[in-house]
Amino acid sequence: MTDHTATGQTATEQTVRCDRCAHRYPAAEDGCPRCRSIRRTNAVIVALLVMLVILALVGWVGTLVLT
């Protein structure tokens, strides 16, 4: 029998391993926090790229109108 009090875990805590990144996280969480963070970051990057493309198109159309 192992003593879980030294590691801060109780006997009732269960951990699962993420299929994508092999990170261990508590089973009580909905999903892997590392993968959630990566997906959130990817969504922000995609949104910024879309905004950059829109800005470039508006600038291009603006130069066509003004010349």
- Taking only the tens place, the pLDDT of each residue in 2-29 is 444 445 555 567 999 999 999 999 999 9
User: Which structural domain, as residue segments, surrounds residue 38?
Assistant: 15-66
Rounded to an integer, the average pLDDT of 36-61 is 97
- Look at residue 2 and tell me if it is in a domain: no
Distance CA 10, CA 4 (A): 6
Q: What is the largest CA-CA distance in the chain?
A: 81
Rounded to an integer, the average pLDDT of 30-53 is 96
3-state secondary structure of 16: strand
Q: Is the pTM of this model over 0.85?
A: no
- Look at residue 6 and tell me if it is in a domain: no
C-beta atoms surrounding 35 within 10 Å: 15
The pLDDT score that the predictor gives to residue 3 is 47
- Tally of domains within the chain: 1
- Look at residue 59 and tell me if it is in a domain: yes
- Helix, strand, coil percent values for the chain (each to nearest 5): 50, 10, 40
